[in-house]
């Protein structure tokens, strides 16, 4: 039987060649003003020939204070978009992947040093900035955020819209809103960060209000023909936090507003989370969403073995599998998976001879597949 991992998937007018996605991964390699650098050319250029169906560019801040580190990528100025344009052009010239980008706001987890320097709060002398959140409740070990008022909420909603317009100008095929990992939009959902007394806090309906408003505003400007998705922390993995049942309600509301897919991630709202980590540990969360809500679902988290990815897709547990660290470790993962599972991928002509079927053969054989 042929591989299901290597079957195409069409979402709106965009067809992905296979079910393999490169998960968004912050590189902390911007220039300090949200602009892409030559690191991005190398990093994304490498992934452009990965043969993944979709590459989602890292969390990109919608405003400067929405960065997690100083060196996050951003889309808050036209200059940011102009810096990314040649990178994307280069990637498209040399590869066949579809391209998405993730829009993000770090909220109360922003303003810290880069990952390999421990994500410690930055003082103003170190280039730090005031951070914002639904309520003035710090994430443990981080700076005290300022609670957003009505003007602040409007500003951030508008910043998501402007960044989405820039993503469209850049020609991205797909857009993802980062609503996970304890960052701003997830902070509205979770009682750990949201203790507001107004219509944006309190019961589930109120806590969903701002993320849903942002989603709707972005949907209004992002073309109907192109997929718009949301990454969720499906559960906070902690007593008193956001739950899988809440995520089912939220995903249904998102779908009704025109959301085309959700990615089932988890955690990030509290250091007290209790997660049991192992291969595919978040797939049951994706299954729970897919079972209850009629929406395309992406699974992610420690999927490293081709046969495991194949089992997940073949059994319809989720519709797409995203790989993060596994792709950094082996950017040709999809080639190897295709070889192992009998799937077809498009290999750039200059690299064709690397394929095991051609290593002992004649270089002038017809193109594989
Ligand atoms: C270096 C690195 C950067 C990441 N940056 C992001 C990001 O920008 N946005 C996001 O939603 N998740 C981010 N993540 C999480 C990954 O997308 C992914 O969900 C997670 O690593 C689990 O998948 P994996 O086990 O295949 O790595 C990052 C992970 C890593 C390792």
Question: For residue 121, what pLDDT is reported?
Answer: 96
Supply the pTM of this predicted model.
0.96
Say whether 183 is catalytic: yes
Quick one: tokens of 206?
């109120």
Residue 6 in this model has a pLDDT that exceeds 90: yes
**Cβ(330) – ligand 1 distance below 6 Å:** no
Q: Which residue has the tokens 């009704």?
A: 256
Q: Is the CB of 25 under 6 A from ligand 1?
A: yes
pLDDT, tens digit, 9 for 90 and up, residues 243-292 = 999 999 999 999 999 999 999 999 999 999 999 999 999 999 999 999 99
Q: Which two tokens stand for residue 43?
A: 């990093």
Domains of the chain and CATH, by start: 9-359 (3.20.20.70)
User: Does residue 108 have its Cβ closer than 6 Å to ligand 1?
Assistant: no
> What's phi and psi for 82, nearest 5 deg?
-65, -30
Q: How far is the CA of 279 from the centre of ligand 1 (A)?
A: 15
23 CB less than 6 Å from ligand 1? Answer: yes
Separation in Å, CA 115 to CA 118, 144, 233, 252: 5, 20, 20, 34
Q: Which residue has the tokens 């996605």?
A: 21
Q: How far is the CA of 23 from the centre of ligand 1 (A)?
A: 6
CA 269 to chain centre: 17
Residue 100: phi and psi, rounded to 5, are -125, 170
Q: Is the dihedral of CA 249, 181, 308, 360 positive or negative?
A: positive
Q: Is the pLDDT of residue 356 over 90?
A: no
Catalytic-labelled residue, pool 139, 183, 200, 261: 183
Q: How far apart are CA 165 and CA 116, in angstroms?
A: 32
pLDDT tens string 67-100: 999 999 999 999 999 999 999 999 999 999 999 9
Q: What ligand 1 atom has the least distance to the C-alpha of 178?
A: 11
- 250 vs 238: CA distance, rounded Å: 18
In this prediction, residue 358 has a pLDDT band, given cuts at 50, 70 and 90, of: confident
The DSSP result for 331-357, as a single string, is TTHHHHHHHHHT------GGGGGGSHH
């Amino acid at each position: 039987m042929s591989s299901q991992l290597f079957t195409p998937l069409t979402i709106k007018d965009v067809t992905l060649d296979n079910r393999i996605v490169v998960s968004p991964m912050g590189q902390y390699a911007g220039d300090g003003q949200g602009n892409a650098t030559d690191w991005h050319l190398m990093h994304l250029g490498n992934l452009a020939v990965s043969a993944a169906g979709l590459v989602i560019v890292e969390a990109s801040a919608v405003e400067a204070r929405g960065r997690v580190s100083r060196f996050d990528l951003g889309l808050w100025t036209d200059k940011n978009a102009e810096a990314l344009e040649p990178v994307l052009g280069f990637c498209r010239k040399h590869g066949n992947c579809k391209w998405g980008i993730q829009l993000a706001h770090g909220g109360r987890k922003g303003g810290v040093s880069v990952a390999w320097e421990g994500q410690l709060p930055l003082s103003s002398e170190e280039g730090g900035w005031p951070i914002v959140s639904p309520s003035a409740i710090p994430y443990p070990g981080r700076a005290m955020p300022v609670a957003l008022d009505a003007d602040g909420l409007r500003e951030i909603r508008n910043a998501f819209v402007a960044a989405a317009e820039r993503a469209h100008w850049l020609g991205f095929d797909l857009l993802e809103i980062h609503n996970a990992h304890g960052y701003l939009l997830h902070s509205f959902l979770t009682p750990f960060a949201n203790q507001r007394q107004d219509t944006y806090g309190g019961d589930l309906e109120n806590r969903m209000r701002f993320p849903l408003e942002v989603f709707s505003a972005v949907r209004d400007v992002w073309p109907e023909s192109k997929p718009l998705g949301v990454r969720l922390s499906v559960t906070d993995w902690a007593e008193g936090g956001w739950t899988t049942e809440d995520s089912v309600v939220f995903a249904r509301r998102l779908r009704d507003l025109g959301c085309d897919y959700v990615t089932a991630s988890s955690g990030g709202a509290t250091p007290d989370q209790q997660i049991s980590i192992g291969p595919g540990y978040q797939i049951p969360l994706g299954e729970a969403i897919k079972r209850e809500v009629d929406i395309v679902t992406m699974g992610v988290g420690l999927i490293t073995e081709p046969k495991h990815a194949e089992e997940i897709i073949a059994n319809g547990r989720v519709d797409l599998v995203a790989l993060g660290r596994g792709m950094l470790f082996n950017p040709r993962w999809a080639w190897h998976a295709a070889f192992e599972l009998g799937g077809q991928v498009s290999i750039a002509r200059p690299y064709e001879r690397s394929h095991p079927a051609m290593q002992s053969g004649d270089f002038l054989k017809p193109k594989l597949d």
